């Protein structure tokens, strides 16, 4: 189910025929242009999808005599369609408004071209229907890399993020990250609206990053490209010192590159996170410093 008001506001639609429904049944980001159906062919009518009326469909309807147009629309509205959306600023005929009101089916309108609207609507509804979870973490954009900072409470996630903001990077979410699986290989994160752009710093309290550092210091949403897990330094644990092995964490079925950073007094976490983000960018371009060093050592031993 999709919230009707959220659909109208998100796609900037006009309500041409109101409905008492607050939720409409949309199961996938798919649409139907019912040209064949309006002409009388209903063999494979995808009535469960939102119906898009463009120039072709409206031109056909308006070219019919009034009594025949009503019969065509009565047949069309006998199906339980979620909604009807008219593109290019078309005005619905009176018969359409009457039948839609009788069946309690919302009729919406937009001035955008049909194809352009469908592309935007697919992206918007895909996001609405995508699986969501929330995580206790910090999300920040570092050199274009979406870094998800995780760790136990008090590990220094917010302090590291604040230092990164001071260094010119952009905060997406602090403490709570709403994560959306856009597709099988991509996650995006944003902050819940109630706490968006706020940050908690122990000893100071709540601060507003946007008001304090300006709009350039914040970002609405960002893809999650890597996870950096902060944990207290454990002398008994062996930490990776070469970086030859690729470690991943799985979030909602998506593998995300992950590194563990031990925390102890004197370590500059902001610089370490910056280096990790740059290093990931280099690896995406096909360069690995650890493998380059390993190659040089191998060549030296062979000589």
Q: Once rounded to an integer, what is the mean pLDDT over residues 199-226?
A: 90
Question: If pLDDT is split at 50, 70 and 90, which confidence band does 163 have?
Answer: very high
Q: Which pLDDT value is given to residue 52?
A: 93
Domain(s) of CATH 3.40.1390.20: residues in the chain: 2-129
Q: What is the pLDDT of residue 141?
A: 95
Rounded to whole angstroms, how far apart are CA atoms 281 and 303? 32
Positions marked catalytic: 136, 157, 175, 241
Q: What pLDDT is stored for residue 176 in this prediction?
A: 92
Q: Is a pLDDT exceeding 90 seen at residue 227?
A: yes
Largest CA distance in the chain: 92
For the domain spanning 132-296, the CATH number is 3.40.50.300
Of 3.50.50.60, 3.30.930.10, 3.40.1390.20, 3.30.2090.10, which CATH number belongs to 2-129? 3.40.1390.20
**What is the pTM assigned to this prediction?**
0.71
- Please list the residue range(s) of the chain that carry CATH number 3.40.50.300: 132-296
At residue 172 the predicted structure's pLDDT band, cuts being 50, 70 and 90, is very high
For the chain, give the percent of residues with pLDDT over 70.
99
Contact residues for 64 (Cβ-Cβ < 8 A; gap 6+): 72
| CA atoms of 161 and 149, how far apart (whole Å) | 8
Say yes or no to pLDDT of 204 above 90.
Answer: no
């Amino acid at each position: 189910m999709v919230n009707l008001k959220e659909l109208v506001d998100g796609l900037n639609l006009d309500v041409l025929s109101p409905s008492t429904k607050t939720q409409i049944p949309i199961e996938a980001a798919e649409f139907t242009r019912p040209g064949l159906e309006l002409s009388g062919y209903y063999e494979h009518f995808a009535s469960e999808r939102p119906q898009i009326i463009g120039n072709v469909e409206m031109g056909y309807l308006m070219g019919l005599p009034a009594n025949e147009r009503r019969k065509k629309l009565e047949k069309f509205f006998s199906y339980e369609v979620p909604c009807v959306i008219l593109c290019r600023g078309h005005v619905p005929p009176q018969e359409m408004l009457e039948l839609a009101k009788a069946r309690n089916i919302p009729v919406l309108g937009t001035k955008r071209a049909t194809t352009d609207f469908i592309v935007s609507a697919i992206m918007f509804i895909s996001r609405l229907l995508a699986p969501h979870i929330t995580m206790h973490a910090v999300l920040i954009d570092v050199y274009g890399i979406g870094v998800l900072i995780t760790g136990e409470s008090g590990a220094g996630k917010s302090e590291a993020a604040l230092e990164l903001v001071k260094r010119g990077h952009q905060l997406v979410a602090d403490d709570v990250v709403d994560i959306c699986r856009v597709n099988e290989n991509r996650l995006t994160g944003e902050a819940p609206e109630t706490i968006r752009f706020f940050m908690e710093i122990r000893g100071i309290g709540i601060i507003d990053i946007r008001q304090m550092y300006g709009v350039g210091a914040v970002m609405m949403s960002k893809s999650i490209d890597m996870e950096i897990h902060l944990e207290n330094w454990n002398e008994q644990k062996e930490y990776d010192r070469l970086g030859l092995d690729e470690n991943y964490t799985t979030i909602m079925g998506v593998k995300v590159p992950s590194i563990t950073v031990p925390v102890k007094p004197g370590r500059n976490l902001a610089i370490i996170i910056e280096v990790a983000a740059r290093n990931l960018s280099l690896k995406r371009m096909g360069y690995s410093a650890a493998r380059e060093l390993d190659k040089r050592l191998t060549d030296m031993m062979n000589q």
